[in-house]
Each structure stands twice: as C-alpha cells, then as structure tokens.
Chains A and B, each alone.
Chain A
Amino acid sequence: MHIMEGYLPVTHAVGWGIASGTILTYCVWSVGRSLRSRPQDKFLLAASSAYMFTLSALKLPSLTGSCSHPTGVGLGAVLFGWRPMVVSGFIVLLFQALLLAHGGLTTLGANLFAMGIAGAWVARGVYSLARTARLPFRVATFLAAALGDLATYVVTAAQLAWAFPDPAGGFVASFTKFLGVFAITQVPLAVAEGLLTVLVMNALMAYDRRELETLGVVPQGGTA
C-alpha cells in the first residue's frame, strides 16, 4: 500500500515530487514520441494500463494477517519497457489519491517513485536479465511481475525509514521495521501477481501473437 497523505515530512515530499516529476515529464515525452511512430501500440498499452488499474484496486489478504494490493506494473514493463508504466502509474495513483483517500497528493511523488519508477525498472531489469540467462519467456514474465511488485514495497519501506529513522538504531532499524510491515506482507501477493501476469500473457499470446512479435517480446514464429 502507498504512503498515506501527510505522512512524509515536507522536505521529503518536495524532494520526491521533484525527482518523480522530472522522470514523469521525460516519460510522457518519450511515450508520446514512440506512440506517434507506432500508433498500433495504443491498444495493447491501454490493456496493460487497465491491468494496472484493476490490480491496484484489489486489496488482498496476506499470510501476515494484513492486507495489501498488487501493482500490476510487470505486464506493461515486459511488453513496453518501464517508461509507459510511469505514466500509467501516475494516473492510477492520482485517481486513488483524489477519490479514495488512498495514498495522497503530498506523497504522490514518493509513491510514484516506488511503484511506477522503481517497480517498473526492477520488472524490466529482471525480465532482461532472465531473457539473457535464456530462461523461458513465461518464467521471465513471472519473475519480472513478482519482483517488480516486491521492489515497490521495499522502496516504500526505504522511503519511510529515510524519513523516520529509529532514534536508537537509525535507518537500518527503521528500515527493518517498515520492511516487516510492507515487504513481508507482499511476498505471497507478489507471487500471486506473477502467476496472474503469466495468465494474461498466455491469453495475449493465444490471440495476439503477431502484436507481441512486432514488439520483439516473443520471437517471430517461434514457440517461446
């Protein structure tokens, strides 16, 4: 779950806002440019953003006895890279901050950095590494979605630990505490998101292999 409204000190809120705002501006420009050269991607991009929209609305119970929600960043990051996911992540977070009192406007920068930016970077990075290591496409998709999801909450814990270091143990003690809240809860949910993303990818491969081939995700005519 995201950092609640007003729960980051002003300096941190502003700092994350500037960092994420800059990256978001670059991503909007970059996505706009690639969509002008490949307008046929709009359809599949809308589907991956919609997947993100759905998954972030589902608060799921976890083994720790608390609830959190998956991020849905992995699917789009595997298909289109990390940049479009920053833009979609911003829309999702803004919707939830304005209408659901979930997350917040003052913490939007930090939350976008955790979910849209770090989550998508990790998802894309894991996918590329897994493909370089010659792991099958579905395994790479699973790892990308699950680890991208988990990374979001590790970053959230780090952001809170940075803002609220433990008086005795400093950053490390505080980080461990916030990891206990966010990351441990997220492990089973991240596995669930990984499996669900493979399921959606299977459906896309069954009906829309051509599109995935032109994106370079699956080899032409192969059986990945």
Chain B
Amino acid sequence: MNKFWNALLVLAVIGLICVPLALHEKGDETQTFTGTDDQAQQAIKDVNPDYSRWAEPLWTPPSSEVASLLFAVQASLGTLVLGYVLGFYRGRATRDGRANERA
C-alpha cells in the first residue's frame, strides 16, 4: 500500500515538472523559462528606471556550463548526505529486525 502511494507521489512530482514543458509553445515569448530572479530585475527597472545596481557578485561562473556544474555539485552533495543517512537507518533497522528475530 505504501509502495503504491510512494509511486503515485513520484509520478505526481514528475508530472508537475513536465506539464509546463509540454505546454511550452515554440516562439512564445512569454514562455522562455528564464529565472524569476532575472524577471524581477526587469520588474525593478520598470518600477524604478533610475535604480542602479550598487554591488556585483564577487565571482560569477564564467559560463552557464560551469554554473550548471556547480549546481550539479550542490545537488549531488545534498543527495549524497541524505542517501547516506537513509541508508544508515535502513541498515540499522534491518540489523535490529534480524537481531529481534534471533532473540
């Protein structure tokens, strides 16, 4: 039963991410999948055209490839730790379960 619900949850998450991509129409300028932070910069310019940015990032990844590398590193470090902890707990639960059976 739990397995069924978990599978359903995974499908729902994938669906929520894929539906926007499927609805994307070529050449539609309102659907470019740019970041909301870039769009916010534009919105700030609309509201206050005189505002000038007074600080720049200390270091910017030299290309979007390098940026995607760093994002991938961030995501994989997170999943590494999460997976390690879940694996540890699973191993412990299995071991304790067996120990109980023997006792």
**Per-position binary interface string of chain A over residues 180-196, scored 1 when its CB falls under 8 Å from any chain B CB and 0 otherwise:** 01100110110110011
Q: Is the CB of B44 within 8 A of A164?
A: yes
Which residues of A sit under 8 angstroms from B23, Cβ to Cβ?
A: 63
* Nearest CB of B to A149, in Å: 13
Complex CA gap A177/B45 in Å reads 12
Given B24, B74, B85, which contacts A95 in the complex, CB threshold below 8 Å?
Answer: B74
- Partner-contacting stretch, out of A19-27, A51-59, A213-221: A51-59
Which residues of A sit under 8 angstroms from B13, Cβ to Cβ?
A: 192, 195-196, 199
- Size of the B side of the interface (Cβ < 8 Å), in residues, is 60
Complex CA gap A43/B30 in Å reads 44
Which residues of A sit under 8 angstroms from B54, Cβ to Cβ?
A: 6, 10, 106
Q: Which residues of B19-52 have CB atoms within 8 Å of chain A's CB atoms?
A: 19-21, 23-24, 28, 30-37, 39-41, 43-44, 46-48, 51
Which residues of A sit under 8 angstroms from B20, Cβ to Cβ?
A: 61-65, 188
* 28 A–B contacts, CB within 8 A, in A order: A7-B44, A43-B85, A44-B85, A46-B85, A47-B82, A47-B86, A50-B80, A53-B74, A53-B77, A53-B81, A59-B35, A61-B20, A65-B32, A67-B35, A68-B35, A101-B60, A102-B37, A164-B47, A166-B47, A181-B36, A182-B40, A189-B16, A200-B82, A202-B5, A207-B90, A207-B93, A208-B86, A208-B92
User: Footprint of B on A, CB under 8 Å?
Assistant: 1-7, 9-10, 43-44, 46-47, 49-68, 95-102, 104-106, 153, 160, 164-167, 174, 177-178, 181-182, 185-186, 188-189, 191-192, 195-196, 198-200, 202-204, 206-208, 211
